């Protein structure tokens, strides 16, 4: 079974998303940083590693919250997407890796870029509903 982990980085009612790089699955679509779990790695460890690799963000695992575990099916079989979020007080500096992201930016939780990976919509709706008014 294929396992992937993603993390939504939220600051003051805005979420950090990246535009997937050419040549990747979902190229040109906006998504949170994330990717495959490595051997022996937990979903939480994978989410933190992917944020570091794709955006240069060093996140403390204990700060992440599990949003949901989303099973999926694809041609190669079944899998699960572990979706986390972290809320930070200040926008961190980030540096998109060219092999992962064409670009990255913060967007209001209630105003997303297009095209967005389809599975992210439910997560962004949940994060938006939980955000304080005006956020």
Q: Following DSSP, what letter does each residue of 74-103 receive, concatenated?
A: ETTEEEEEEEEEEEESSPPP----TTTEEE
Task: Point out the residues of the chain with pLDDT beneath 50.
Answer: none
Q: How distant is the alpha carbon of residue 60 from its chain centre? A: 15
If one looks up domain 2-110+120-130 in CATH, what number appears?
3.90.79.10
Q: Cα torsion at 118, 124, 125, 127 (round to 10°)? A: 160
Contact of 81 with 122, CB cutoff 8 Å: no
pLDDT of residue 130: 85
pLDDT of residue 77: 87
> Structure pTM?
0.94
């Amino acid at each position: 079974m294929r396992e992937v982990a993603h993390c939504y980085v939220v600051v003051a009612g805005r979420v950090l998303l990246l535009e997937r790089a050419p040549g990747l699955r979902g190229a040109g679509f906006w998504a949170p940083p994330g990717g495959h779990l490595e051997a022996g790695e937990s979903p939480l460890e994978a989410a933190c590693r992917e944020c570091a690799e794709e955006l240069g963000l060093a996140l403390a695992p204990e700060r992440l919250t599990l949003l949901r575990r989303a099973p999926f099916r694809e041609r190669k079989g079944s899998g699960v997407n572990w979706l986390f979020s972290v809320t930070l007080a200040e926008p961190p500096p980030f540096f998109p890796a060219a092999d992962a992201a064409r670009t990255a930016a913060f967007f209001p939780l209630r105003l997303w870029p297009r095209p967005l990976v389809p599975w992210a919509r439910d997560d962004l709706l949940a994060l938006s509903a939980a955000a304080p008014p005006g956020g």
